Amino acid sequence: MAAQALALLREVARLEAPLEELRALHSVLQAVPLNELREQAAELRLGPLFSLLDENHREKTALCVSILERLLQAMEPVHVARNLRVDLQRGLIHPDDSVKILTLSQIGRIVENSDAVTEILNNAELLKQIVYCIGGENLSVAKAAIKSLSRISLTQAGLEALFESNLLDDLKSVMKTNDIVRYRVYELIVEISSVSPESLNYCTTSGLVTQLLRELTGEDVLVRATCIEMVTSLAYTHHGRQYLAQEGVIDQISNIIVGADSDPFSSFYLPGFVKFFGNLAVMDSPQQICERYPIFVEKVFEMTESQDPTMTGVAVDTVGILGSNVEGKQVLQKTGTRFERLLMRIGHQSKNAPVELKIRCLDAISSLLYLPPEQQTDDLLRMTESWFSALSRDPLELFRGISSQPFPELHCAALKVFTAIANQPWAQKLMFNSPGFVEYVVDRSVEHDKASKDAKYELVKALANSKTIAEIFGNPNYLRLRTYLSEGPYYVKPVSTTAVEGAE
């Protein structure tokens, strides 16, 4: 089969307009295993196929792209980098985006290979073309270019090539194309900055990080909303957070939140700014962040009362993030009756809000109520029990009711709440004393889709693995849980049939 493909490839090279031969080659290649093509890689002559890309013929271009995609996979990245340099450069400036994407996918293979990447680094023209691909209209082309440049920058030589040559001027030139392209370059810079303190240093020296931060704290509210997402990504790393703190950026973001009440357009950027602090609190210390920036906690509480579902959703997500560890839970507990009112609000929303917000409320409740076994002190167990009680008059029935609604996502989110509290003795007692609850847990007929079966299995597992469950549920129920667990999430009870004499 591979020999047939080679013969057709030679035929394509010989003819001037080989449309039929291209169709035949395309068809044959689909059936040739890649390992067979790899054995013949040395004999593959791809020049004629690349030349055909220059013809303004849609079908020929599509066929050549598909054929080249297959044949190039059979070649080692080093071979592609060394022997197809000119073709790669021409591919990046081709008017057809599918050719650019093909070329960038090969450059992606090359930059992942430590032997081949030097060929790219030594090709200034090719690097320049990759940079200019960020400025194209096609998002897939731009994303592939960003990914390749980000990968190149993982090495010292790559950082030097990008930031200590004319390439930096090309990057700044591309940024001037329009707002969208400027944000794409910021996205690349943040990706590179996040790798290490040294990478961040190269990016700050270039002036591009400073430019991003200037836009973040500038007057344009839409620009702020876009920039905060990138700055939040930078804050996921320890060295990124250190830099933002040293430059006074965190204080500036806090001050903008303080002034948001007098800004009629604050709803554009406020959700992103609050999310930033929520992530910061979890990655550092919830107590320190909330004490240093009290406006953050104040704004979260305020936003849960908002009539704007976007604001409410972000506030609920942030409460869930903040309460995902014990220190964050204790910070929330210190706010006293205010937090109790917030819990009542979230409980109400989980029943009455639109479906998407209901799910976000249920996810936040799961995060707030979960306590790992090793952290289950008497005080913390009393706290989670009181939080659960604050959600509704009868929270267990509330979540059972939600789980019976015909939306798999809601069903799973409600099961997740039960799973979060399943290893806490107070919750086990509530479940055991609730009529029909144990039967509901071990009833497999309730769940019909994979996600729901998986969610139910996680609940059973959390209950069955608890040290207190046998005592609270009793041995017969404990054995039912263990049986469910051993049978797995997708077990179907066999239906027995009885033969009746004379029946047809």
For residue range 26-56, list pLDDT tens digits in order: 787 777 777 776 766 666 677 777 777 776 7
Nearest-angstrom CA–CA distance, 67 and 62: 9
358 has pLDDT over 80: yes
Residue pair 286/328 in contact by the 8 Å Cβ criterion: yes
Handedness of CA 270, 272, 277, 282 (dihedral sign): positive
**Would you state the pLDDT for residue 292?**
92
**Would you state the pLDDT for residue 504?**
46
Can you say how many angstroms the Cα of residue 36 is from the centroid of all Cα atoms in its chain? Answer: 37
**Would you state the pLDDT for residue 12?**
52
- What does the angle CA 346 – CA 402 – CA 361 come to, to the nearest 5 degrees? 25
Q: pLDDT band at residue 11, thresholds of 50, 70 and 90?
A: low
- For residue 13, the tally of other CB atoms under 10 A from its CB is 16
- What does the angle CA 147 – CA 153 – CA 158 come to, to the nearest 5 degrees? 130
Helix 326-333 to helix 378-390 angle (10° resolution) is 60
Nearest-angstrom CA–CA distance, 352 and 367: 20
- What does the angle CA 362 – CA 467 – CA 435 come to, to the nearest 5 degrees? 55
Q: 209: which DSSP letter?
A: H
Cβ neighbours of residue 150 closer than 8 Å, sequence gap 6 or more: 188, 191, 192
Q: What is the pLDDT of residues 271-294, one digit of tens each?
A: 999 999 999 998 888 999 999 999
Q: What is the pLDDT of residues 324-357, one digit of tens each?
A: 999 999 999 999 899 999 999 999 999 999 999 9
**Would you state the pLDDT for residue 68?**
85
Phi, psi dihedrals of residue 55, rounded to the nearest 5°: -75, 140
Residue pair 72/116 in contact by the 8 Å Cβ criterion: no
Q: Which amino acid is at 56?
A: N
16 has pLDDT over 60: no
* 408-412: Cβ within 8 A, 24+ apart: 408/449, 408/451, 408/452, 409/355, 409/359, 409/451, 410/355, 410/358, 410/359, 410/362, 411/447, 411/452, 411/455, 412/451, 412/452, 412/455
Cβ neighbours of residue 353 closer than 8 Å, sequence gap 6 or more: 309, 312, 361
Q: What is the pLDDT of residues 208-234, one digit of tens each?
A: 999 999 999 888 889 999 999 999 999
**Would you state the pLDDT for residue 66?**
87
Nearest-angstrom CA–CA distance, 390 and 311: 22
Q: 32: which DSSP letter?
A: S
Q: What is the CA radius of gyration of the chain?
A: 30
**Would you state the pLDDT for residue 132?**
94
Q: Integer distance in angstroms from the first to the last C-alpha of the chain?
A: 54
- What does the angle CA 170 – CA 93 – CA 114 come to, to the nearest 5 degrees? 70
State the average pLDDT over residues 371-387. 95
Q: What is the pLDDT of residues 101-153, one digit of tens each?
A: 999 998 988 988 888 888 888 888 999 999 999 998 999 999 999 999 999 99
Shortest CA distance to 44 belongs to which of 17, 65, 75?
A: 75
